[in-house]
Amino acid sequence: MSRRIDHVAILVRELEQAVAFYRDTLGIEPDEIREVPTEQIRIAFLSPGGPLASKIELIEPMTPDSSLMRFLEKRGEGMHHICLEVDDIDATLQELKAKGVVVLDQQPRIAAEGRAIFLHPKGTNGVLLEMLQKDEH
């Protein structure tokens, strides 16, 4: 079902400060910094292992009343989710539902890099798991 870890996401208060830490302290340059209007977030992807390796995604929520901002207020900055890449998100969604996994999306949502669903942490050892089918480029 899942092909690889696409990225690990970290929730931060100020994207530029977090990008500067990774760049100046750890020597990891950001690939890109951009806004995702559909999710009301600003993100940076970092690829310490090169373009084909798993990435770090830094996420800054843009909207005060969003679920991500509430997560930030409640738990503080830190790791937010792990994203696994899959070949076919629709088949994955059906298979997971058939197995009784609690999914947070009844239809794949439009994510930063493709179509995705999230699995509820209560069924995944406390980890918010994203399953992502990437757009073809």
Give the interface with its own copies as residue ranges (CB under 8 A): 1-5, 8, 10-12, 17-18, 21, 25-28, 48-50, 53-56, 58, 76-79, 82, 84, 96, 99, 101, 121, 123-127
Give yes or no for a contact between 86 and 92, defined as CB atoms under 8 angstroms apart.
yes
Q: Where do the DSSP E strands lie in the chain?
A: 2-11, 30-36, 41-46, 55-61, 78-86, 109-110, 114-119, 129-134
Q: How far is the CB of 84 from its own copies (least distance, A)?
A: 6
Q: Dihedral, CA atoms, 85, 89, 95, 100, nearest 10 degrees?
A: 80
Residue placing its CB nearer to its own copies in the complex, 17 or 63 = 17
Q: What does the DSSP 8-state code read for residue 25? A: I
Degrees (nearest 5) of the Cα angle 46, 50, 53? Answer: 85
Q: How far is the CB of 87 from its own copies (least distance, A)?
A: 11
Q: How far is the CB of 81 from its own copies (least distance, A)?
A: 8
Residue placing its CB nearer to its own copies in the complex, 38 or 102 = 102
Residue placing its CB nearer to its own copies in the complex, 38 or 87 = 87
Residue placing its CB nearer to its own copies in the complex, 38 or 91 = 91
Residue placing its CB nearer to its own copies in the complex, 38 or 70 = 70
Residue 134 to residue 88: CA distance in whole angstroms: 9
Give yes or no for a contact between 130 and 111, defined as CB atoms under 8 angstroms apart.
yes
Q: How far is the CB of 49 from its own copies (least distance, A)?
A: 3
Q: How far is the CB of 117 from its own copies (least distance, A)?
A: 13
Tell me the one-letter amino acid at 116. Answer: A
